Amino acid sequence: MSAISSSTSTSDPSTTNVTSESFAKIFVADSGEHKIFFADLRDELSFKPIPSTWHPEFLAYDSTRKKLYWNDFTAKQIYRADVNGLNREVVTFASNEAPAGVAIAEELGVLYIAYTLSNKITSMSIKPDKTIPRDDPDFATQGIKEPRALQTDEEQGYIYMTMNGEVARKHLFLPQDALQTIYKNIHLNDLSGLSIDFTRNPRRIFFCSITGGRVFYKDMSTSPDKSIATELTYSGQSPYYGQLQSLSYINGFLYWVTRQNYTRSIGITTYYDNTNRSYVIKEVDKFMVPRDHLSGICHWRNKEMGTKRPLFYRPCLFLYS
């Protein structure tokens, strides 16, 4: 991968600093180990921890302001820090409910937060002129049922979400517009692991079911039948064994995380939409209860505009349980 990576050791041997230069890395929130781990995508996924709060679960990255965001299940708040875990700040006031998935619309400078029990998605400005911590007012409630993972697509103006038996999207700029269902299956009440192929137009949406390790994708241009999606298998069987926590799509590769009994693994599927697709699985003994993971943070310079934009637009999040 054509990305620059760099890291330096701290005086604390249990953590590692990551510089804020351009890089391509995967971050994993592990609520069992009470840590956030990172690995270089080019370095055989050798994970190291960075400072975190007690119970991190979902992750989001703001490449404009170079901040890593996450929720904390115990504190019931959202936090942010530099990618090395330092300069940590509290973003939201403590809530009566633990927040779930988080997503960022970078150009708008807005953070979106899912609340599964309250059946709502909130939003708040994270622009530099806004003080934190602060309240996060409701963004969407109508039609929202147990939201979990979130993804934003600012170019086309939508926020995508996994919910109880459903994948849906809502317009970012017209919040009064109705929720649009993309896929619905009442037998899959644990849909999670949301990712988008931003190179395609119309978009391709990836999502997964935790139990049974089922992975699906759906093109926004295909049949309007909300019950139809393409399920990925390998030789007629699903390779995503155990409890599939989440997945991310990056430049033709699917990265995914599973948990089965005492085994925690990172997997990579190549040529996922080809009959000759293959996959590799790497067990990671550092993980205890992996939750959300963020992969593919990388910057590139737009020659026409002279500005930096994220290579994978919204760095993909994975690991949900």
157-201 pLDDT tens trace: 999 999 999 999 999 998 788 999 999 998 888 888 899 999 999
Lowest mean pLDDT among 218-222, 225-229, 281-285, 302-306: 302-306
Which CA distances in Å does 305 have to 153, 204, 273, 300, 308? Answer: 20, 26, 33, 11, 8
Q: What does the pLDDT read at residue 5?
A: 29
Q: What is the structure's pLDDT at 313?
A: 28
**For residue 321, what pLDDT is reported?**
26
Q: Does position 1 have pLDDT exceeding 50, yes or no?
A: no
pLDDT of residue 11: 37
**Per-residue pLDDT at 35 exceeds 50:** yes
| Confidence category of residue 218, pLDDT binned at 50, 70, 90 | very high
Rounded to whole angstroms, the Cα distance separating 83 from 315 reads 13
Residue 286 has pLDDT above 90, yes or no: no
Residue 266: the pLDDT is 77
pLDDT value at position 31? 79
Residue 218's CB is within 10 A of a number of other CB atoms, namely 19
Report the pLDDT value the prediction gives residue 306, as an integer from 0 to 100: 35
Sheet containing 204-209: order of strands? 191-197, 204-209, 214-219, 230-232
User: Could you say which DSSP state residue 32 is in?
Assistant: T
H or E element, residue 45: none
pLDDT: which is higher, 235 or 283: 283
Flag whether pLDDT at 279 surpasses 80: no
Q: What is the pLDDT of residue 6?
A: 32
**Taking residues 260-286, what's their average pLDDT?**
70
Rounded-to-integer distance, Cα 52 and Cα 92, Å:
16
pLDDT single digits (tens) 122-150: 999 999 999 999 999 999 999 999 999 99
Residue predicted with more confidence, 293 or 230 = 230
At 210 the pLDDT is 78
Please choose, from the candidates 277, 198, 273, 169, the residue with its C-alpha nearest in 3D space to the C-alpha of residue 231.
273
**What is the set of domains in the chain, with CATH numbers?**
24-318 (2.120.10.30)
User: In this model, does residue 267 exceed pLDDT 60?
Assistant: yes
* CA quadruple 113, 114, 119, 124: dihedral, nearest 10: 10
Convert the pLDDT of each residue in 37-94 to its tens digit: 888 877 777 888 999 999 998 999 998 999 999 999 999 999 999 999 999 999 999 9
Predicted model pTM: 0.82
Q: 266, 253 in Cβ contact below 8 A?
A: no
Averaged confidence pLDDT in the chain: 78
Give just the sign of the alpha carbon dihedral 9, 15, 16, 21.
negative
Nearest to 279 by CA among 234, 248, 245: 234
The helix (run of H) or strand (run of E) holding residue 309 is: strand 307-310
Q: Can you give the pLDDT at residue 120?
A: 97
